[in-house]
Structure 1
Amino acid sequence: MDSLAPRISSCGAGGKSGKSGEETLTQPRGCHGTRSQCVQQGPGVGAAPGAGEARRPGRAACPRGGAQGRAAPADAASAGRDATAKPCRRGWGLVEICLMHPLDVVKTRFQIQRGKTDPTSYKSLGDCFRTIFQREGLLGFYKGLFPPVLAETPKRAVKFFTFEQYKKLLGYASLPPGLAFAVAGLGSGLTEAVVVNPFEVVKVTLQANQNAFKEQPSSFVQARQIIKTDGLGFQGLNKGLTATLGRHGVFNMVYFGFYFNMKNILPVNKDPNLEFLRKFGIGLVSGTIASIINIPFDVAKSRIQGPQPVPGEIKYRTCFKTMATVYKEEGFLALYKGLLPKIMRLGPGGAVMLLIYEYVYAWLQDTVNHK
């Protein structure tokens, strides 16, 4: 595994000039800096996806005119690839939300029900689907759809952009590459949580409403009602922030950390079809394990952001206190309510998201390199 920090090397062998006898620097084409300005760029933590698989010789990049010189063309090309890849990631994200949203509604319904004595308790996954369809109609499965659709663009942009930026920052730390991927994922998840939490509050409130779809307020009306009643703070549009931080931070830490580490460990297949299945399988397992580990935070988040047992009385207030209350009153397995629909959504959905990210990034990289 390559070192995380950039590697310093000379541009070429030194020689003697004909007249002055001074030592000169034999530099590669396009290099105009001094020996100390030449930085050997290898596939470290900040490298593009798949860098751990295809070991290419490092490229010497020397800034013209020292620290005040022009930016390297590779940086501009990388920025262009990122900007072009984002619409592809966002496009799949919107499709995934529309297809998988019924599973998200079912997951939330399971998480907010308080044991078998709850009058709205569902006996099984099939019973939940049947009950929602009979009482609320087909559109009942799409309650709270608009907030995640609206948040999709900033969410995916923050998720992948900050992951790459944290990887670059960690490239200067003395962390093992495997740990650096996980820490970068943790940072991206925490940043993502701050962006999406207000949307999550509105979404959970709408999903918990068991009235007919036509009787339900719109997302904007619901948001205005929350702001008018409870404000923008931690009891209003930003309630449950600590649980959302835990949910997204833990998920992305396991999701990115497991995927990129396992992808570098398992051998690459020369057959494109087998290679696709290899990456899809790793992504599927990554999303599944991440869902299993982070779901207690998800349950706490739904309890805090959803309806309270007694109207006007706040029972679920903070993340870890909510977990302790659920465990004490309903048992350990209550912290894993909604796990099956969560895995059914985020297992394959997470795998496809990472595959699109990787293949689009690689295609754009090849397109830029051939120009």
Structure 2
Amino acid sequence: MVGYDPGAQGAPLAAEEAALAGSAAGMVTRAIINPLDVIKIRFQLQIESLSTARPTGKYSGLFQASRCIHTEEGLSAFWKGHVPAQLLSICYGAVQFASFECLTRVVHDMTPFDSQTSGVHFMCGGLAACSATVVCQPLDTLRTRFAAQGEPKVYKKLTHAVRTMWRTEGVLTFYRGLSPTLIAVFPYAGLQFFFYNVFKRLLTPPPFAGKSGENIRSLICGSGAGVISKTITYPFDLFKKRLQVGGFEEARVHFGQVRRYRGLADCVVRIAKEEGVRGFSKGLSPSLVKSALSTGLTFFWYEFFLNALRDLKESRGVKDKR
């Protein structure tokens, strides 16, 4: 079980060990799910007017978008923005899980609440995600820009993107979309940890399952938690992506219509007016697939690496005693 648990077997892990396990989990998960992230972002940035009877966007479905991207841009296009995305995942995983472990320890040490309850996990998970978001938002903006651009590329590599954005748009451009991100990330991450805790309590593996059964349980519980939390908070992810590509219109022209929004409120109003209620759920299908895989794999690998660290500490302890 994630979070500080005084009843767990073995010595509790330090924050730096939780950070190491979290960053490793983020790195492995990102390498697997990056193609779905690229497809999701392409859908989120697609403008389709309500005045037309049929959808006018370039992409019309998960498989059609996959074929289109592969045909026009090649297989490597599914890993566009992978370097900043990988840095984001490593950094985010480290900060989020280290913060979560620290916060649940504080709850245990300084309050009368049980640190392993679902409600505590909701609050600590949400706060941990907010801290990770503030630290990692520039990498998220860079990841979105790279995934959004087609051919020819506006940004050739990460350092070129950083220099160009800094020079032409200023330092605050790296924090575009921060407001909807913070509004959404607290309930999104909080619900992830909440439902993960609930599902793990409900899905008790049989005694003979061993560690393999525990790992599969983590994957299933994480996937379920990811789908539910993403469905509830999805529109804010859409708003964030639309705001993050502001000032980047030249790279989006051949994908269809482009928009420049003055802020979060303007973004919400114009999407509702121009694209209707359906506009708030663009990219939801690939996003749910991605969220199920991403959240499930993140918790799976996090608990996997935590157990590996615990086993390593125990083996070293046995050697020291000899």
TM-score grouping bracket, smaller chain normalisation:
0.7 to 0.9
Q: List gaps (5 residues or longer) in structure 1.
A: 1-42, 60-73
Q: Which has the higher contact order (CA 8 A, sep 6+)?
A: 2
Aligned twin of 1:209: 149
193-202 or 302-311: which moved more?
Answer: 302-311
Aligned twin of 1:292: 231
Aligned twin of 1:200: 140
247-256 or 104-113: which moved more?
Answer: 247-256
In the alignment, structure 1 residue 154 sits paired with structure 2 residue 91 = yes
Instruction: Give the drift of 1:279.
Output: 2.9
User: Per-residue displacement from partner, 1:288-332 (whole Å, max 9, x unpaired)?
Assistant: 112212211110011101246977x97423334423332232122
Aligned twin of 1:124: 61
What CA distance in whole angstroms lies between the structure 2 residues aligned with 1:357 and 1:309?
35
**Residue 283 of structure 1 contacts residue 347 of structure 1 at CA under 8 Å; is this kept in 2?**
yes
Paired residue type of 1:188: A
Q: RMSD between aligned alpha carbons?
A: 3.0
What CA distance in whole angstroms lies between the structure 1 residues aligned with 2:245 and 2:183?
17
Aligned twin of 1:331: 276
1:1-371 equivalences in 2 (<5 Å) = 46-47=4-5, 51=7, 78-79=13-14, 82-84=15-17, 86-115=19-48, 120-171=57-108, 172-173=110-111, 177-212=117-152, 216-233=155-172, 236-272=173-209, 273-307=212-246, 315-365=260-310, 367-369=312-314, 371=317
Structure 1 residues 321 and 173: alpha-carbon distance in aligned structure 2, compared to 1, 3 A threshold: farther
Structure 1 residues 222 and 276: alpha-carbon distance in aligned structure 2, compared to 1, 3 A threshold: closer
What CA distance in whole angstroms lies between the structure 2 residues aligned with 1:360 and 1:153?
14
Aligned twin of 1:62: none
Q: Percent identity?
A: 25
What CA distance in whole angstroms lies between the structure 2 residues aligned with 1:153 and 1:283?
18
**Residue 308 of structure 1 contacts residue 314 of structure 1 at CA under 8 Å; is this kept in 2?**
no
- Whichever structure has more helix as a proportion of its residues is 2
Q: Per the alignment, in what secondary structure is the counterpart of residue 59 of structure 2?
A: coil
What CA distance in whole angstroms lies between the structure 2 residues aligned with 1:44 and 1:123?
39
Instruction: Give the drift of 1:44.
Output: 12
* Matched residue count: 300
- TM-score between the two structures when normalised by the length of structure 1: 0.71
User: Per-residue displacement from partner, 1:35-73 (whole Å, max 9, x unpaired)?
Assistant: xxxxxxxx997316xx5xx6x7xx9xxxxxxxxxxxxxx
What CA distance in whole angstroms lies between the structure 2 residues aligned with 1:102 and 1:211?
17
**Residue 208 of structure 1 contacts residue 307 of structure 1 at CA under 8 Å; is this kept in 2?**
no
Q: List gaps (5 residues or longer) in structure 2.
A: 251-257, 318-322
**Residue 242 of structure 1 contacts residue 318 of structure 1 at CA under 8 Å; is this kept in 2?**
no
Instruction: Give the drift of 1:247.
Output: 3.6
Q: Per the alignment, in what secondary structure is the counterpart of residue 78 of structure 1?
A: coil
